[in-house]
Structure 1
């Protein structure tokens, strides 16, 4: 259990769901984890659940550039480098294009896409110090294939997908040793999706779209994030890893 021994990892949206599952797994694998979330009380509970020592929790609004700048300064002063950045924060909603206000569109973009840009911009210098930095960006199968009533979410996650590739190519051209890859989960059971999965009619429709016959678990996505964060994926950059029970294969 040492695939991330002596590595420093930052994970956004880490107070619950995939982010928390990833933080726990990283900690078990030897990483020092910095958890980010805007929910202070849940974040405090999350860090207490991590094994090992040397972890940190920062209440942070991922849509605020000043917050990322302050985090970069804090990490520079206390850690001096960064090895892994997991841009996991995000949310979505079911709204038709006609019923989506510009304000709501911008809120989806800010949390899902702007945050990835801001984190990358301000933490990339610390990742370059490491010489083995790995960025893992949370996209979605909705960044690959569309669906009704998910226009803003699809646009944001599609943006994450291509921004990841652009980041990978830029880092390769710079020769800074930083890799960037994206994760594309399908339907996963998390606190954010609990309401959707609790509706029998919606749950039945979701299952009909998953050849493997069940929704995924947060821990299954965390396993893939660990792979992309570790040296096991050292020849991968600009790639997209789909974990969806076969939904995009149909």
Structure 2
């Protein structure tokens, strides 16, 4: 009954709940792998070390080169970005000039801690600390799409977010062999033969290996209330699938979700 949406009138009143509930149900169904009762659960945005603090934490998440992401811009909401490979970006660009040259030099001088990002909407290229670039489709993605921080109400800022999202989506959906960032030419991006530093491994990429070394939970242990799936009904909400964490092994600071 709960799996088809209950009470049904909640979904009639709030149509957006249908998509949210469908996503929640799919995540709950994927939590435990069928036929593999010894494997740790798969919880969105939680690492094995988040569920069991005795496990080693994965390396910090760093958005890799040639990936979409998000960054902040003073006076505006967070905006979508494309993380450039600094070893391929020319110091003078055909349309955008050389305003990015200082940032490019900074990133090339400190590639382990900085990212060179193209900001959609405003068409600027700037250097950002690794932790100031958040992953596309990460934990904050839904909030960023709606406009974050919410205190930013200027029409020009909200219009830029709309334009930036359209540009990012169009870029992402275009064939990689032919796509171009707005106001950038093919000649603006050229590999110059510089040795590239090793790309930091993201926690998402290393998740499978970390899980294999995870806690070996038994099926009997999963039958207890902790570390099991349940249904809850918050006030004035539909019944919703949840995973009950074990407070004894749950850390106060999570790898992706923070505190």
TM-score w.r.t. structure 2 length?
A: 0.23
Instruction: Kindly indicate which of the two structures has a greater share of residues assigned to helix.
Output: 1
Query: With CA pairs under 8 Å and 6+ residues apart, which has the higher RCO, 1 or 2?
Result: 2
Rg comparison, structure with higher value: 2
TM-score w.r.t. structure 1 length?
A: 0.24
